Structure 1
């Protein structure tokens, strides 16, 4: 809800008229038309103001008071213009003159209002144009700065491109010289290539002729070797059959020899056992003979102080004594390996290989 006004429009109007009366201006509706002095805009503003009116009323919104003063001012000024006194003229003519004057003033006021509106519109358009011009000027300044930066960058690029162009021109000159040198070398290489191709064609023709001769010779030699290989194969087949026959005969001979070797091994083992038994008997007989000989020596010696026995070398057994010992009865033989009768190391049976 809107806040109620502290001062009404009637109070404002009455206070304004009172202030004009105090200033010496009569109300346009109070006296006669000829005796009243018209209220002009300057006299109204000199007598009444928003600050004075608010101080007179003691309250009120300055904006509301300003709008009310503008309305009262327009009304009083318009009424003062319509009530211009024309002394010395008839009433009808004065009334017509007032109507003419009012029409002229109205037209003039309309022109003034229209001109004022036009001026305000022009001023607004000018402000808008000025604002647009300022914005455009600022944009142009920014664009000018950017263009200057781009121009500086382009100048740097142009300088770089000029340096590159100079370097490229130098390289182009060097490449032109190198190209001429390479062209001369290419011509020499083409001449050499043509010579080499001609030589190669001649050598290729010679090689083809030699190849044809060699191929014919190779075919002849291959055919000859094929016949030789067939003959050699037949001969090797015959030799292989003979070899198989010989192998079969040798296998039979091998079996027979293996049987003979096995029987020879058995006979050798039996002879070795008999020799070992005979050696054991001979050793035992020798020991018995040595014991008898020692007893006989002790019995034949006189009772004399015993001297240390001398070590005599072993006497050789005469052949007759050996024959007598051999004719003596033999003790029962023991099987080889029986404990109690150790065998000499040279008579021990060795394992057969």
Structure 2
């Protein structure tokens, strides 16, 4: 990503004229004097920054403008070594800036990926905890179902016992009716036997009623206790079912977060891969650029050789 220019062409022009004035080389300096007074490094130091390539182009344009009057008297030498080194420094600075920007973007992408991995790990741990709680709740529900089945079995047994007692009571009443008939039949023949039988019957009846009442009260109390336990079990079941539904909803949310984190990690991997491809393309372009000589340098060398072969003719201004 290219950085914005710090200095404008007008700022570069003003800085160049100031350096020329400070060097005292006159209004129309020679190319050598201009290069001694003005350089890309000096202009960048005066301006506090700027694109070296843009500053170099502006310096070349100003040099052509200032030294135009004295070009006819000057035979341009070969490209100075310090200028070539400066151009190499400019190129290395541009490449370094691009590599620094790419490294910064890669670090940011790695930080985002690490954060996503941490969130994914935390979500997985929460899911495991919720799964463990769900297993415990299912075990508790299973135990509650077992207790409820046992209570239902006990209730059925008590109902069968109450039915048996009722059958015994009906049998006793039937027997009482039979005894009453026998008593009526024997009353005419044996008054004393009837009186003894009546007394015995009344005693047995009282005893039977007392035992029946006690058993009935005990059965009712047991039925009431079991009904209370059944109600409590129903309430507990409702609470556990609500808790189970809440845990299932939380588990669905955790799964959604897990899927979202997985999508973000995939997107970050895709961005990282695209950046790697861009880096490879940039490195290949850099190698090609290093292999091919710069047009401006080649043109300058060719013009210098032609001028050296024709010293008597006027030279045209060109790039240093």
Question: TM-score, normalized by length of structure 2?
Answer: 0.24
Q: Look at both structures and tell me which one has the larger radius of gyration over its CA atoms.
A: 1
- Please state which structure has a larger fraction of its residues in helix: 2
| Greater relative contact order (CA < 8 Å, ≥ 6 in sequence) | 2
